[in-house]
Amino acid sequence: MQAYVLDGHLDGYVPVAETNLLLVAKVDGKAERVLFHRAVDPASGTLPTKSSVFEGNAGWLGTIRTFEGSFPTLTLNGTTFSNISFSFPKGSKHVH
């Protein structure tokens, strides 16, 4: 599974220095976790110092088509966010 860090308008990638992100998903009342790690740059084959692309193993996903997800704590470029929730695949409503 891949996760991307995007800007506030969801139209540009934002490279961050963080090395991992923790997703907690509720599937049929059960909590499942995915630990995303900074993705290797496919062009160089190396781990970049900053990235907007993260990858994690979600073996539990299988045939699941929807779930409620959250990032309990998320620090991006020094700013910490708490309880970022969304519905998959629908997403979250972006409000200004």
pLDDT per position as a tens digit, 47-57: 999 999 999 99
**Distance, CA of 41 to chain centre:** 17
Specify the pLDDT at position 29.
Answer: 87
Decide if pLDDT at 96 tops 60: no
Kindly report, residue by residue over 36-48, the tens digit of the pLDDT.
999 999 899 999 9
Q: What does the alpha-carbon distance between residue 82 and residue 65 come to, in Å, rounded to a whole number?
A: 25
Tell me what pLDDT residue 90 has. 82
Q: Looking at residue 95, what is its pLDDT? A: 54
30 CB neighbour count, 10 Å cutoff: 8
Query: What tokens appear for 57 in the block?
Result: 């193993």
